[in-house]
Amino acid sequence: MVKIAIICLFVLFSFSARAESIGVNPALKPLLEPHYGEVLYHFYQQDYFSAIVKLLAAKRQRQLSYHETEAELLLAGLYLAYGLHKKAQPIFQRLLQGEPRAVRNRAWYLLAEMSYRRNYRVAAEVALKQITVVSDLEKVGSEWQAKGRLLLAQIQSQTGRGKQALQTLSGMWPEMYARYAVYNRAMIGFSLKKKQALQQLQDLAALSVQNSEQTALQDRANLSLALFYLREKNNRAAEKALLKVSLTGLHSNRALLALGWSRLHQKRYAAALSPWLQLSERSADDLAVQEVWLAIPELLMQWQKPARAAEYYQQAVAHLQQSSEQLEQTRLLLRDDEWLLDLSVLAEIQGHYGLPHLLASHDLQESLWDYRELSQLEDNLQQWRKKIIELKEFAEKPAEEMSLQNLQQRLLSISNRLQSLLPKWRNYVKQLAARQLQKQAARLQSLIQQAKLARAESLERVKGESLP
């Protein structure tokens, strides 16, 4: 999330050579100015608007001399969180000039990553091009260069520049990122250099693994290989690749589904049924599980077992209808406004159908972030307006009273605009959630209709076989 990236940007100066030069442990730099402490208090409370206000006020009054660099960097990160890239980028450009290469590369990468998460691809690409290229893979800073290249290739691929993406991914890589580069080259290269991409996936799938990260990537490579082989009707090769996928990994459900299809296409009905029965018992809101509920009776029909197929179609209808009812319960729960501001409310309903898919949506997460920040901003403005009313009672000069009066009017104007905007934004977030739930509901209804029609056909087959 954006707020995590802000914290990363803030703490990266713990590695600054400037802190080391004055004999301070970079990870334990003391807090010497109370005004900066107040800024950090609001920051760690995630009250970012108050943090900005306090920070700007302390800067104007020259109260941040010892923490000036960290304060500037924090301000730039907060600007970025609110989408103010034109304000944030010059600060990064100025502050990072005198820093070590590792610090510069890390900052530019995090800046690019935050921009990319908020769909500012151009700003992300501009930031990535600021990363200093390190030819020696063992030198400090090559990690951020490698991450930057992976992100840049992703942006280039998404914007229709596949050849540039392949060029970005070519060349030497640090060992811990080399496999990701190979996988991305293969996936991007399938539409350009199919044979070369296929060989790259095969090489990646054949490598030994030492940790869970490498295992997950190898699973992805084997699954991608298998799906390619299935499209080419090479079912034996697909099955061989799928059997290498971990049964407990992130890609296991799709692998079990594809394994069944690869065997069914070979008319090995009993062998195909085994992974599908295992998959059918897993989480009901997984798309592969829903598909297998209908695939099992389809297999039984091909196996000339229409009576058993009819039973499984009936089970599929029951499972899907139950899922549809649970999805409706989730939809009714989200009609309330409370969950928009308090994520703990969502945590209490984690078990409800459809919610994991909803919360994993990037668009919804970013929209929720924006709505919560706008709500917090509106609350802060109300508090400042009350403080100004109190300050006006202590104004000794007409000029001071007039200044406070003008500020009060400006805050009132902004507050009115926010009060007008918040209901619209609230409705937008709720509509976004509703549309995503509606897509899930439409899919379930479509599967229910398919299952009912297929069950009717299987029952007709049973009647036909029972006739003398």
Please enumerate in sequence order all residues whose Cβ is within 8 A of that of 205, keeping only pairs 6 or more positions apart, or say none: 218, 221, 222, 225, 241, 244
Please enumerate in sequence order all residues whose Cβ is within 8 A of that of 314, keeping only pairs 6 or more positions apart, or say none: 455
Residue 442 within a domain: yes
Determine the Cα–Cα distance for residues 177 and 147; give it in Å rounded to an integer.
8
Q: How many domains does the structure of the chain reveal?
A: 2
**DSSP H or E segment with residue 364:** helix 362-392
CB-CB neighbours of 234 under 10 Å: 16
Residue 1 within a domain: yes
Residue 155 within a domain: no
Q: Which of 78, 103, 131 is the last residue of a domain?
A: 131
Please enumerate in sequence order all residues whose Cβ is within 8 A of that of 33, keeping only pairs 6 or more positions apart, or say none: 58, 63, 64, 65, 66, 67
Residue 352 within a domain: yes
pLDDT in tens, 280-338: 999 898 999 999 999 999 999 999 999 999 999 999 999 999 999 988 888 888 888 88
Radius of gyration of the chain measured on its C-alpha atoms: 29
Determine the Cα–Cα distance for residues 181 and 98; give it in Å rounded to an integer.
31
Q: Which of 115, 131, 147 is the last residue of a domain?
A: 131
> What's this model's pTM, rounded to 2 decimal places?
0.80
CA 437, 441, 446, 450 torsion-angle sign: positive
Predicted local distance difference test score (pLDDT) of residue 22: 29
Residue 212 within a domain: no
CATH code, domain with 32: 1.25.40
Residue 382 within a domain: yes
Residue 393 per-residue DSSP state = T
Residue 211 within a domain: no
The torsion angle over the Cα atoms of residues 384, 388, 389 and 391, rounded to 10 degrees, is 140
Predicted local distance difference test score (pLDDT) of residue 272: 97
Task: Identify whether the C-beta of residue 209 lies closer than 8 Å to the C-beta of residue 221.
Answer: no
Q: For the chain, 468 residues long, give each residue's pLDDT as a single digit of tens.
A: 445 455 455 544 443 433 333 233 334 455 567 888 888 888 877 777 778 888 888 888 888 777 777 788 788 877 776 767 777 778 777 777 777 777 778 878 878 887 888 778 888 898 898 887 765 555 544 788 899 999 999 999 999 999 999 999 988 888 889 999 999 999 998 888 888 999 999 999 999 999 999 999 999 999 999 999 999 999 999 999 999 999 999 999 999 999 999 999 999 999 999 999 999 999 898 999 999 999 999 999 999 999 999 999 999 999 999 999 988 888 888 888 888 887 666 656 555 677 777 777 878 888 887 888 788 888 888 887 888 887 777 766 777 778 778 888 888 888 888 888 899 999 999 999 899 999 999 999 999 999 999 999 999 998 877 655
Predicted local distance difference test score (pLDDT) of residue 4: 47
Its domain, for residue 30, covers 1-131
Calculate the alpha carbon distances from 88 to 81, 275, 465 in Å. Answer: 9, 52, 74
Structure tokens of 159?
A: 């914007």
Residue 410 within a domain: yes
Determine the Cα–Cα distance for residues 295 and 289; give it in Å rounded to an integer.
10
CB-CB neighbours of 117 under 10 Å: 16
Q: Which of 82, 99, 131 is the last residue of a domain?
A: 131
